Amino acid sequence: MRIATWNVNSITARLPRLLAWLESSGPDVLCLQEAKVAEEQFPFDELRAAGYEAAVHATGRWNGVAVLSRVGLQDVVKGLPGDPGFDGVVEPRAISATCGPVRVWSVYVPNGREVEHPHYAYKLQWFEALKAAVAGDAGGSRPFAVLGDYNVAPTDEDVYDPAAFEGATHVTPAERAALSSLREAGLSDVVPRPLKYDRPFTYWDYRQLCFPKNRGMRIDLVYGNEPFAKAVTDAYVDREERKGKGASDHAPVVVDLDV
């Protein structure tokens, strides 16, 4: 079974590339983030023609998450129970579904913006709500994973230059402690390092030639429970999909399982 996660940074802009990637890579399940469309504008018909059902939680031009599956799609839950919201708005940042033998969450963790910004406090609160929401499945016997754009680099090795991020979000002790808290709930990072190359980054800013210079971050993660982690046979970041005109600023992360 092949499961992947990809922040597509607008499914409308990325649809031709998405359909081509589904055909070439053949994931059984794909978690998407930053759909950036209202649910009624989501390309259900095009994905159905490609063999995928879709569960979507999206409200407009920002955020938006989805789970695509060709192995079944059941028990869909939209939103994060206990979501603290930001500025009075509960944003579409999480969706979960059972796909064949596996249950997954697709999550788009708040960015945090700046350490002193209210969005940073919201990010930490959102992590607390996520931990509470996944604790039951994390400790269960069914393979379970939380995939998505976590907007946190787990260690200094997961950014191209730690000095360049000093004082910024994505690398602070509090954010990394939030990841540790998920691990304490029974989840672990199932994508090993190194992979087939050093520093398997998943995100490169569009500006300042960051991708050609490999000035990236590893912030798209797959956190699985013990049954999920034990079933992993391979994992990789598809850097090729970050290349070329019209690419997302994130690359897909792919995990193969023997389930």
149 labeled part of a ligand binding site: yes
Catalytic residue status for 203 = no
Contact indicator for 235, 207 with CB cutoff of 8 Å? no
- Selected catalytic residue, list 52, 83, 108, 223: 108
117 is in an annotated binding site: no
Q: Quick check: is 119 catalytic?
A: no
Please tell me whether 250 is known to bind a ligand: yes
Tokens of 48: 């159905």
Report the C-alpha gap between 54 and 30 in whole angstroms.
Answer: 9
Active-site annotation holder among 137, 170, 223, 250: 250
Quick check: is 250 catalytic? Answer: yes
The response to whether 198 counts as a known ligand-binding position is no
Backbone angles phi, psi at 162, to 5 degrees: -55, -35
**Cα–chain-centroid distance for residue 212?**
23
Q: What is the 3-state secondary structure (H, E, C) of the chain?
A: CEEEEEECCCHHHHHHHHHHHHHHHCCCEEEEECCCCEHHHCCHHHHHHCCCEEEEECECCCCCEEEEECCCCEEEEECCCCCCCECCECCCCEEEEEECCEEEEEEECCCCCCCCCHHHHHHHHHHHHHHHHHHHHHCCCCCEEEEEECCCCCCHHHECCHHHHCCCCCCCHHHHHHHHHHHHCCCEECCCCCCCCCCCCCEECCHHHCCCCCCEECCEEEEECHHHHHHEEEEEECHHHHCCCCCCCECCEEEEECC
The catalytically annotated residue of 28, 83, 137, 149 is: 149
Q: What is the spatial distance between Cα 242 and Cα 221, in angstroms, rounded to a whole number?
A: 16
Q: Which of 30, 23, 72 is nearest to 49 (CA)?
A: 23
Q: Is 234 annotated as a binding residue?
A: no
Annotated binding residue at 7?
A: yes
Catalytic residues: 108, 149, 250
Residue numbering of the annotated binding site for Mg(2+) = 7, 34, 149, 151, 249-250
Residue numbering of the annotated binding site = 7, 34, 149, 151, 249-250
